[in-house]
Amino acid sequence: MTDLLWPGDDRAGDVFTDAAVLTAMVRAEAAWLDALVGHGVAPAGARDDLTGLIGADDVPTVAAGAEAGGNPLIPLLKLLRSRLQGRNPAAAQWLHKGLTSQDVIDTGLVLCLRAAADRIRDDLAAQTAALVRLADGHRETPMPGRTLTQYAVPITFGLKAATWLTGTLDARDRLAAAAALPAQIGGAAGSLAAPVALAGSPIVVRDLIETAAATLGLPVRDPWHTARAPLTGFADALVTCTDAWGRIANDVLVGARPEIHELSEGTVAGRGGSSAMPNKQNPVLSILIRRAALAAPFLAATVHAGAAAAVDERPDGGWHVEWSTLRTLARRTVTAGSQTAELLAGLRVETARMTANLAAARPGIDAEQRSITPGAASGEPYPGATDRIIDAALARAAETPS
């Protein structure tokens, strides 16, 4: 899967592709079928892991059939049953028993989102390592601090990098908390009526749900068909990531302006060129990261709008709008995470230019310091304070998110 109009989308690879969604839904069905057999609700002969029954070549067929029922699971089940009939008729009979479309689609979405979270988590770790090096290595690199686009007071680049690090750690922690997405098993109206009818006991049904969820590596939660906080929370965590990365990209874009030239992206052959101006070396990674940060909040808002539109025991459109929105938001966040990790790994810090710009900003940039300490020499306004801020960020980076 690639997106011609979202350069860099190929970085997301197989995350949340149509084929990945089909695979995730088949996994959900297989986990439930295995639980039914394991607890004696379905006969032993119905056991089947469904491996190999559905592949990427089936995407067009399922996609074409999805409109008739309003979701892709219905044509997927038709395909699965037709193929099971030849190898395991009992499995075909027991497939999907006690479930509803939303159970399988929601659980499939959760599995795809978890895969995205794994990729983002790896890139956040790489970003954190790079930012720790920058913050610690540039404790004494002086530069102008700027507020509201104007010179403010002298700072160090180490402090700026520590600020970037703090935002990245906020994203790491937010993602860690949101990524514990639960399985969805509720039956037709979220009442568990069909599973209880099959199993003959609510206690057995609870065991069935726990077994299926454990097979998928997911936590258990009571049915959340119309209580969408797990998904809105995950969408918000993705936006926290792109917010942090957008903030870094914005500083790089400003710092890379020729008249400032305090920062620059690492040079990669063929990157940053212009179709008409051979003199240009555009900061392409930063531009694309900023693009993702600008787009992400509106995608999360759509997920919230869907949650707010929930009605009855399954929403009429509010649920449906989540699917492609979450896919788009997840893939774009994975892409931006990879781009940010690369940006930070290759970032060039032009220390001489930072020092020169600070010198050019004097004496005005020292006004605050002199107003507090008349006659003070030019330099860092508050000796020691910056080191404490950097040390606190570095200590937090060494912690494992809960």
Positions annotated as catalytic residues are 274, 314
Q: Would you tell me how many other CB atoms lie within 10 Å of the CB of residue 78?
A: 14
Identify whether the C-beta of residue 244 lies closer than 8 Å to the C-beta of residue 174: no
The span from the CA of 159 to the CA of 389, in Å, is: 7
Angle at the Cα of 331 from the Cα atoms of 326 and 332, rounded to 5 degrees: 100
Can you tell me the distance from the alpha carbon of 218 to that of 114, in angstroms, rounded to the nearest whole number?
A: 9
Output phi, psi for 248, to 5 deg. -65, -50
CA 50 to CA 217: how far, in whole Å?
18
Q: Which two tokens stand for residue 188?
A: 């037709």
CA proximity to 322, closest of 244, 242, 234, 237: 234
- Give burial (CB, 10 Å; 0-12/13-18/19+) of 121: middle
CB distance 235 to 330 below 8 Å:
no
d(CA 312, CA 323) in angstroms, rounded, equals 19
